[in-house]
Structure 1
């Protein structure tokens, strides 16, 4: 993820990035056959399509960078300090006064500098993708039924973030090209600072998503339960992004600040390897989490297993979700599941992270809750007035009509109480 000096970090990341990239391609193909990359969806700014495109640019770019630096590491080799007998990677050049003596071949020097600019673009893409997710979650948790996401200031914030990142990272590489220590540490330092901002945004959006969840959690419809499970899933993925960002941020800030402050590479191999391993692990968490956000296979929340095998688009707002509770599942419940265990709903829900569909679903849940509150308030007042009427009119209520008005849709009907028989008691 970075080019801070660590002997075996590049080959480790090269292997991890290549396998993650292959897994991502296989996952996209098995899920929707790259249907999300249609121009109509990209043009309408389908969140799933945009993030898929960014990942298809980032993962091969990151893999190529680590492969190039693994090649440079082993091709240029290592040197031995004859005074201390210490083994360290061969530097690109040695400087005596104003004179530079290059130790690498011209071919490898060009390859190294090209790969550094390529990594700058990967940094901009990755932080831009994380900022996009945070901006969308912030929009989802704060605005229901308002303007589309691409017309909000949050989207403008995301676009500004990406544009500034595309300028800052290559410029930082260019301005520090004369200092070998700075050129290898300033871009990762900027990257770690942006990861810290992503972590702080994750804290804020996590609170807002939990608040949104509390406001819509009382619902009985399958579509409402699916929306609640999606928000549960977003909260879980947000925590993973926060954890990975914080792990990378601490590791990179510790190494880069130390190097920049003393204007020399850290000499302790144990210190470097310890922090770089944590940065690599945090990077793996971020890659996998971003993939699982847009291509979840199953997610489980509150006893409900959500399956992803259907499809949807943003332009026609098509949504397909089916509740599959058939005879086979009933038999399983009878044979092997405890009676007090909550029933598991298997819902078809491979719908991407779009704006309008989720907002409409949340809006419908809020409206449903309002109807429930109004219904129960009306039911309470109707019960009191009905009881008074029965007491004063000697139970002259028509036995064929219910005491309470019928409930609105999606709410279980109340029990209809029949008029008790008091003929024998009041005859005399």
Structure 2
């Protein structure tokens, strides 16, 4: 039962990370009146989030007979998805810079407040991207090592605890950043 709860958690988190990509577009349209991405890309992120919601319980069910794979495969899938979202965060950073640059050129005096808001969200995206990279890489290392016939890291208590502690701290930072994005200052 715990594994299914974990998969539901992965589904929710992956969905939030992906829908956040669409939120940046919404935010750019509302704050700066500038489009951030194409409507196809916007819809793609929504569909990807919906597919992710179904993926983790299906993986859990598919590997139900192997206790190692039942735990490691959904975690590996989640960590790879988090890594991809971190890569998307790099692209989002450059999009924020472009929108801020366009807004500054159009009317720097009247749009100072808009530039400040966009800069804040750009910084939140940058922090989230860095933390997602650290978070996902730690998860990937643990999952791949756990799937090996002779796991090295998972047999070393200190190494495993250090990576897990790092991953857990990243989880706390991600939650703080998500709160800061949806409830700024």
1:180 equivalent to 2:180? Answer no
Q: Is the 8 A contact 2:73 2:143 kept in 1?
A: yes
1:54-107 Cα deviation digits (max 9, x unpaired): xxxxxxxxxxxxxxxxxxxxxxxxxxxxxxxxxxxxxxxxxxxxxxxxxxxxxx
Q: Which has the higher strand share?
A: 1
Partner Cα separation in structure 1 for residue 171 and residue 183 of structure 2: 18
CA RMSD of aligned residues (A): 2.5
Q: Which of 13, 32, 40 is 1:153 aligned to? A: 40
Deviation, structure 1 residue 155: 3.3
Equivalent position SS for 1:153: helix
Corresponding residue of 2:164:
276
Corresponding residue of 2:148:
261
Equivalent position SS for 2:184: coil
Partner Cα separation in structure 2 for residue 242 and residue 292 of structure 1: 14
Matches within 5 A, 1:45-64: none
Q: TM-score, normalised by structure 1?
A: 0.39
Deviation, structure 1 residue 122: 1.4
1:130 equivalent to 2:17? Answer yes
Partner Cα separation in structure 2 for residue 181 and residue 263 of structure 1: 13
Unmatched runs of 5 consecutive residues or more in structure 2 = none
Corresponding residue of 1:206:
93
Q: Is the 8 A contact 1:141 1:205 kept in 2?
A: no
Deviation, structure 1 residue 277: 0.8
Partner Cα separation in structure 1 for residue 98 and residue 4 of structure 2: 42
Q: TM-score, normalised by structure 2?
A: 0.87
1:217 equivalent to 2:104? Answer yes
Matches within 5 A, 1:3-402: 113=1, 115-138=2-25, 152-218=39-105, 219-221=108-110, 224-262=111-149, 266-297=154-185
1:239-293 Cα deviation digits (max 9, x unpaired): 1111221111111000100111227692111111011011111111111100010
Structure scoring higher RCO (CA < 8 A, sep ≥ 6) equals: 2
Unmatched runs of 5 consecutive residues or more in structure 1 = 1-112, 298-428
Assess, with a 3 A threshold, how the Cα gap between structure 1 residues 266 and 154 changes in structure 2: closer, same or farther. same
Deviation, structure 1 residue 146: 7.9
Q: Is the 8 A contact 2:64 2:70 kept in 1?
A: yes
